[in-house]
Structure 1
Amino acid sequence: MHSIRNNTMSNIELNDKKIQILEVAEKLFSEKGFEGTSIRDISKHAKINIAMVSYYFGSKERLLESLIIYKTSDLKLQLENLLHENIEPLDKVNKLIEIYINRISCNKGIFRVLHFELTSKKIEKSLIAFSELKRENLKSVETIIKQGQDKGVFRKDVIIPLITPTIIGTYFHFHMNKFFFEELLNLNTEEMYNNYIKTSLTRHIQQTIKALLVYEN
């Protein structure tokens, strides 16, 4: 039995059946979209009775919320640990970017749904745990930036809430134009493509964020 803790949803117990449902839901959400996927679709592909899926999660929105916590709670923990590392502010920001790119790369499907499909206020308001998770992650980013500001390394006029969208937006523009960039950059294999993300794309994003944060010479 797996337990995931969150301030809003304090204790979600995940047994093997629930995890199976969540994994199937992530696959279908990423392929068909959140709106294009039904509870019936999920139960069919998971080979679990539709009544059982509804019993476990209640609604599609509650299922998505559980999936978000299941897939992204480790990001929150990594950011919190980063806060306490004794390294220079810019090194901490660079590591922050590496953490985000790694987590997005490992969970492309759910991140795409979260950042590009959930545009409805009704859906957003129903995902209380996701909103809380975003606020907590933003607090970690704010703390890291303010540490650099207090040391006089980072600019005071930085719009901190736009840092994360800059990271995620750059990544997804690259990923959603995958075939174009594969041809343009001669990334002939999946390994070359993934390695480019870990190295060149990550470095580009780090340089972009540095330009936003650091005083001009």
Structure 2
Amino acid sequence: MTDDKLDTKAKILAIAEDLFAELGFDAASTRLIAKKADVNIAMLNYYFGGKEGLYMAIIERHILANRIKLQNINSDNISSFEKLYRFIDGYVDNMRRNLAVQKLMYIEMSLTLRSQLNEQIVELLSKNLVQVKRIIDDGVSNGSFAKVDSDMLIASMFGTKIYLINASPMASILFNGHANSKDLLDDEMVVRLKNHLKTMFKLYLTKS
């Protein structure tokens, strides 16, 4: 593929990501995306096969980038706690950096209108989940971590994330005293969230 075609695809992806995040999947029409990207709908369909293909290309790009980071953490010659803390730092940073995309992704997974899309997202995320579980399971196996219900521990972390992203008005009341916070995940909250998750994991995983 030539550089011009790569640039065009990247431009379409960037604009579609912004529109999906702003308007939602249904309201972000291919006609609008094509107009904003200054391409025709035929070209958009040629590259991505339609709106669902375009949406999945955006989601897949983010999930695969995170999987590579997780694989690198698991392959590093560092302690299990260092792997865990490095994962948490990256997890929270990615959560803030790609907030709109993740919010849209979790909304889609909660719906049944596009079951095939949901299945594709879950399949992609499940491979990342294997890498997260490996950090904990390896730590248990090598004696660094206590034996715990790792599934519940990971679910607690994901639950916190989903609460902050998809129930942000309630989260804003809890953390800021009102429901209209424009930037719930500001610098202070990012530090608080990282510290909370590290403390929670350490308390559960430290051997008594």
TM-score by length of 2: 0.80
Is the 2:20–2:28 contact (alpha carbons within 8 Å) kept by the matching residues of 1? yes
1:145–1:183 distance in 2 versus 1, CA, 3 Å: closer
1:62–1:159 distance in 2 versus 1, CA, 3 Å: same
CA RMSD of aligned residues (A): 3.1
Which residue of the partner structure matches residue 208 of structure 1?
A: 200
Name the SS of the counterpart of 1:202 in structure 2: helix
Which residue of the partner structure matches residue 23 of structure 1?
A: 14
Residues in 2 aligned to 1:144 and 1:212: alpha-carbon distance in whole angstroms: 14
Offset at residue 120 of structure 1 (A): 3.5
Letter in 2 for 1:104: M
Which residue of the partner structure matches residue 65 of structure 1?
A: 56
Residues in 1 aligned to 2:101 and 2:199: alpha-carbon distance in whole angstroms: 26
| Equivalenced residues, count | 202
Offset at residue 32 of structure 1 (A): 1.5
Is the 2:108–2:118 contact (alpha carbons within 8 Å) kept by the matching residues of 1? no
Letter in 2 for 1:28: L
Letter in 1 for 2:192: S
Matched, 1:139 2:145: no
Matched, 1:170 2:160: yes
Higher mean C-alpha displacement, 69-78 vs 172-181:
172-181
Q: 1:68-87 maps to which residues of 2 (within 5 A)? A: 68-87=59-78
Is the 1:26–1:67 contact (alpha carbons within 8 Å) kept by the matching residues of 2? yes
Offset at residue 193 of structure 1 (A): 5.4
Residues in 2 aligned to 1:168 and 1:119: alpha-carbon distance in whole angstroms: 14
TM-score by length of 1: 0.77
Offset at residue 62 of structure 1 (A): 1.0
Offset at residue 127 of structure 1 (A): 5.9
Identity percentage of aligned residues:
28
Structure 2: runs of 5+ lacking an equivalent:
none
Residues in 2 aligned to 1:57 and 1:193: alpha-carbon distance in whole angstroms: 32
Is the 1:155–1:213 contact (alpha carbons within 8 Å) kept by the matching residues of 2? yes
Structure 1: runs of 5+ lacking an equivalent:
4-13
